[in-house]
A and B are shown apart, each in its own frame.
Chain A
Amino acid sequence: MSRSGKRTWGKTAIGLLLTGTMLFPVYWMLNVSFTRDQDMRKSPPDLFPAHATLAGYRTVLDEQLPYLGTSLAIGLGTVVLTVALSAPAGYALAKLRPRGGGLLGFLLLAAQMIPGIIMAMGFYAIYLQLGLLQSVPGLIVADSTLAVPFAVLIFTAFMSGIPGELLQAAQMDGAGPLRTFRSVVLPMSRNAVVTVSLFAFLWSWSDFVLAGTLVNGGAHEPITLGIYHYIGNNNQEWNAIMATAVVASLPAAVILVLAQRYVAAGVTAGAVKD
Chain B
Amino acid sequence: MTHTTQVPHRRPVPDRSGAAPAAQPPARRRPASQQWAAWAFLTPVTLYLVLFYAYPLYRNLDLSLRHYTVRSFVQGDAPFTGLQNYRTVFDDPTFAPALLHTVVFTAVCLAFQYAIGLALAVFFNQHFRLSATLRALFLVPWLLPLIVSASTWSWMLNSESGVVNAALHAVGIDPVNWLTSPSWSLTSVIIANIWIGVPFNLVVLHSGLQSIPHSLYEAAALDGANAWQRFWRITFPLLRPVSAITLLLGLVYTLKVFDIIWIMTKGGPAESSTTFATWSYQLGFGNLLPAFGPGAAVGNLLVVAALVFGLVYVRVQRKQALS
Q: Is the interface of B mostly helix, strand, loop or mixed?
A: helix
What bracket does the count of chain A residues touching chain B fall in? 35 or more
A152 touches B45 (CB 8 A): yes
Is the CB of B20 closer than 8 A to any CB of chain A? yes
Is the CB of B243 closer than 8 A to any CB of chain A? no
A92 touches B38 (CB 8 A): yes
B59 shortest CB reach to chain A, Å: 5
Chain B 129-165 interface residues, beta-carbon cutoff 8 Å to A: 129-131, 134, 136-149, 151-156, 160-161, 163
B151 touches A231 (CB 8 A): yes
A19 touches B137 (CB 8 A): yes
Is the CB of B55 closer than 8 A to any CB of chain A? yes
A206 touches B146 (CB 8 A): yes
Contact with A along B115-141 (1 / 0, CB 8 A): 000001001101111110010111111
B2 shortest CB reach to chain A, Å: 8
Is the CB of B214 closer than 8 A to any CB of chain A? no
CA of A156 to CA of B46, assembled, Å? 15
- Central interface residue in B40, B42, B136, B263, by most chain A CB within 10 Å: B42
B13 touches A96 (CB 8 A): no
The 8 Å CB contact of B39, one of A15, A23, A98, is A98
Q: Is the interface of A mostly helix, strand, loop or mixed?
A: helix
When distances are taken between beta carbons in the complex, the residues of chain B under 8 Å from A102 are 14-18
A16 touches B45 (CB 8 A): no
B156 touches A12 (CB 8 A): no
B13 touches A270 (CB 8 A): yes
B148 touches A97 (CB 8 A): no
B21 shortest CB reach to chain A, Å: 11
When distances are taken between beta carbons in the complex, the residues of chain A under 8 Å from B161 are 40-43, 45
Given contacts A19-B134, A111-B49, A118-B299, whether A96 and B41 have CB atoms under 8 Å apart is yes
Q: For residue B204, which residue of chain A has the nearest CB?
A: A268
A264 touches B147 (CB 8 A): no
CA of A125 to CA of B293, assembled, Å? 11
Is the CB of B296 closer than 8 A to any CB of chain A? yes
Is the CB of B112 closer than 8 A to any CB of chain A? no
CA of A120 to CA of B198, assembled, Å? 26
A164 touches B45 (CB 8 A): no
A224 touches B145 (CB 8 A): yes
B25 shortest CB reach to chain A, Å: 10
Chain B 255-270 interface residues, beta-carbon cutoff 8 Å to A: 255-256, 258-259, 263
When distances are taken between beta carbons in the complex, the residues of chain A under 8 Å from B195 are 22, 25
Is the CB of B12 closer than 8 A to any CB of chain A? yes
A151 shortest CB reach to chain B, Å: 9
A152 touches B14 (CB 8 A): yes
A158 touches B4 (CB 8 A): yes
Taking Cβ atoms with an 8 Å cutoff, the residues of A that contact B are 8-9, 11-12, 14-16, 18-19, 22-23, 25-26, 28-29, 32, 40-45, 84-86, 88-89, 91-94, 96-99, 101-102, 104-126, 128-129, 141-142, 144-145, 148, 152-154, 156-158, 160-161, 164, 176-178, 181, 191-192, 195, 202, 205-206, 208-209, 213, 224, 227-228, 231, 238, 241-242, 245, 248-249, 252-253, 255-256, 260-265, 267-274
